[in-house]
Structure 1
Amino acid sequence: MSKNNLAQWLSERKAQNQSAHTLKAYERDVSAFLGFCEQKKLEFDSIEASDLREFLAYQVDTYQLSASSLQRQLSAVRQFMQWLKENHILQQNIVEDFKLKRQSRALPGMIDIETIIRVLDQTEPEEKRLWLRDKAILELFYSSGLRLAELQSLTLRDIDFSRQLVRITGKGNKTRIVPFGSKAKHALENWLQIYWGELTPDAPVFISTQKKALSARQIENRVKLQAQRAGVNLHPHLLRHCFASHLLSASGDLRAVQEMLGHANLSTTQIYTHLDFDRLASVYDQAHPRASKS
């Protein structure tokens, strides 16, 4: 199977607004499989499930890949071979029904509400200007459950202050609208009023002292730094986890949390139903007719 087929497939995925990061991963994973087949002198038309198992075992032995990395590679190869089949380059996709034993999904670490508040409401440092920006970042992460890349790419045009809504462009360039709270609104206004008159609607919301858009790494480092001032270990994705868990615990509305997080499948959101055992026990004790304790 030529690399031209891979290039054509990737070109079509790019036209479907697949992210550059995902395309790079697809290219790397499928190229690894093509290289393995070339080394073994395997023809794609005659590949069997045993060949695929040998490839995956080779990946584990050579690169010490985790189960999640193997799943990712398998998914890339499966999609590529399905495209070959749909374009009549292959007669069958042997990867279509090939499955690895799924790893159990680890529950994300969690921080209680009081600790989050301690980070958000800590006293201002000497450099007030940077704190106003960092506090707005922290408040928006926790208020709306944004991913790091989503917050980093925000522009003024995306924020509706009157209705307290923010438009987010998430994975696969899918757009969703989520609310943000009064604390986040206040923090954003405090930050933006510093240079409000200089901004156009397409200006990035979070910028450096050189007035350049903050990178994802810079935002991550600022979150860690401000959390450490309050004696807490914290990163952007953990703030997203806390947003989801705390909101679900208070509301019980799994579908609403799914929409706000931008999860395509409800099963992804359901991980947060396992995080509040005390609340589940309380609900059971109050609601189940046979739960009353003597």
Structure 2
Amino acid sequence: MKICSGNVLGEFLKEIRYNGLALSTVNAYQKDIAYFAKWYMDTTDKEPHLGDVTSIDLREYQGYMQSVQDLRPATINRRMAALEKYIRWAHEKGYVDRLPTFPKIVREQKTPPKALGRVEQNRLLREAERRGKVRNIALIRLMMSCGLRVSEVVAIRLTDLDIGERHGMVAVRGKGNKYREVPVPPEARKAIREWMIERAKRYPDSDWLFPNRNGGHITARNAEQLVKNIGKFAGLDIHPHVLRHTAATNMIRTGADLVTVAQILGHANLNTTAIYTKPDRKTMMEALEKGEI
């Protein structure tokens, strides 16, 4: 999209990139704005000058994405958000005299976050064990058994752990540096003890549970790649947060209450935790099949 004074879109993209947005995000903004520009030209037979865009145009474009393109609400809302950011920026810069009224976002039924089923969990653990690295098993267990974030796992120090045969606790500093203590169940304790024996031989002077060769700890990116690689060998397309979602889903489905799960996960708001109580597609399909005459 343009206005008569020049390449305003280029200036907008350059500025949001300068302000710290990733290049991939900037490119996504450009594509989303281009989708609107194409629709506008196809609809009006006019080049889309920014100052000509009206509230009606925005409503019609949103409706077009819903009824004609049949796009998902998340995609529609993302494209509209990019367009709104661009138009508001242009208004602040004085490139447009008035702000159109932006339509409300398209509501969608929230679904529970992606979690691994029992069979998939076993496949992942089997693959980690098959590859023989006790460090990887311990790392995966802390995320999938305890619900820790990948950033929390890699930052664990030995002094944060209290692991025994019949008890286990890990101190975690989560988002906003909030401190919490998370129990460590039996299989995770076993994996950690086995790793600590090997780790003591390889990294005797390190304070970190998962050290790197430079004296610090492995990065969240390292751990993320590790999980993705093992998942790939197990035939799973996953990232670390799927393991955290899996822990939460397992707790809810085995009868844990929301307050307990929220405390373990470090959620400040129970509404964040409540998303795990929503049934997934498989559960809904099973309910319908059982109820069908």
Does the TM-score normalized on the shorter chain lie above 0.5?
Answer: yes
**Counterpart secondary structure, 1:250:** coil
State how far apart, in whole Å, the 2-side matches of 1:255 and 1:137 are: 20
TM-score by length of 1: 0.60
Q: Structure 1: how far apart are the matches of 2:23 and 2:197?
A: 34
Q: Give the 5 Å matches for 1:166-205.
A: 166=172, 181-182=183-184, 183=188, 185-186=192-193, 189=196, 192-193=199-200, 195-196=202-203, 199-204=213-218
The reply to whether residue 223 of structure 1 matches residue 245 of structure 2 is no
**What residue is the counterpart of 1:46 in the other structure?**
52
Q: Displacement, 1:47?
A: 0.7
Aligned 1:254-293 pairs, distance under 5 A: 256=262, 260=266, 267-275=271-279
CA shift at 1:222, angstroms? 0.5
| Equivalent residues of 1:30, 1:77 under 8 A apart | yes
- Distance in 2 (alpha carbons) for counterparts of 1:254 and 1:92: 50
Match of 2:285 in 1: none
Unaligned runs of 5+ in 1: 208-212, 277-294
Corresponding residue SS for 1:99: coil
Seen in structure 2, the aligned counterparts of structure 1 residues 126 and 48 have a Cα distance that, compared at 3 Å, is closer
Which residue, out of 92, 95, 108, partners 2:98? 92
Q: CA deviation at 1:33?
A: 3.2
Kept in 1, the 8 Å contact 2:32–2:79? The answer is: yes
Alpha-carbon distance, 1:102 to partner: 1.5
Larger Rg: 2
Aligned to 1:29: 32
Question: Residues 186 and 45 from structure 1, CA distance in 2 versus in 1: closer, same or farther, beyond 3 angstroms?
Answer: farther
For residues 86 and 221 of structure 1, the distance between their equivalents in structure 2, rounded to whole angstroms, comes to 46
In the alignment, the residues of structure 2 paired with residue 102 and residue 6 of structure 1 have an alpha-carbon distance, to the nearest angstrom, of: 28
Between the aligned partners of 2:219 and 2:201, the Cα distance in structure 1 is 12
Aligned pair partner of 2:109 in 99, 104, 108: 104
Residues 136 and 12 (structure 1), Cα distance of their counterparts in 2 relative to 1, 3 Å cut:
same
> Are the structure 2 counterparts of residues 50 and 144 from structure 1 closer, same or farther at C-alpha, using a change threshold of 3 Å?
farther
SS at match of 1:137: helix
Residues 1:83 and 2:89 are matched in the alignment:
yes
Unaligned runs of 5+ in 2: 3-7, 161-169, 205-211, 281-293
Match of 1:210 in 2: none
Alpha-carbon distance between aligned partners in 1 of 2:28 and 2:264, rounded to the nearest angstrom: 26
Quick one: distance in 2 between partners of 1:155 and 1:252? 23
Q: How does 1:203-218 map to 2 (within 5 A)?
A: 203-204=217-218, 213=222, 216=225
- Give the superposition deviation at 1:122: 5.7
Q: What's the RMSD between the two structures over aligned residues?
A: 4.5
Contact 1:245–1:275 (8 Å) recurs in 2: no
Going from structure 1 to structure 2, the CA distance change for 1:118 and 1:101 (only over 3 Å counts) comes to: closer
Q: Is the 8 A contact 1:258 1:266 kept in 2?
A: no
- Is the counterpart of residue 139 in structure 1 residue 141 in structure 2? yes
Residue pair 1:107, 1:271 contacting (<8 A) in 2 also: yes
CA distance in 2, matches of 1:41, 1:108: 41
Deviations 1:139-177 (A, max 9, x none): 132245456xxx3x7896x223322345568xxxx7766
Counterpart check, 1:159 vs 2:156: yes
2:57 alignment partner AA? D
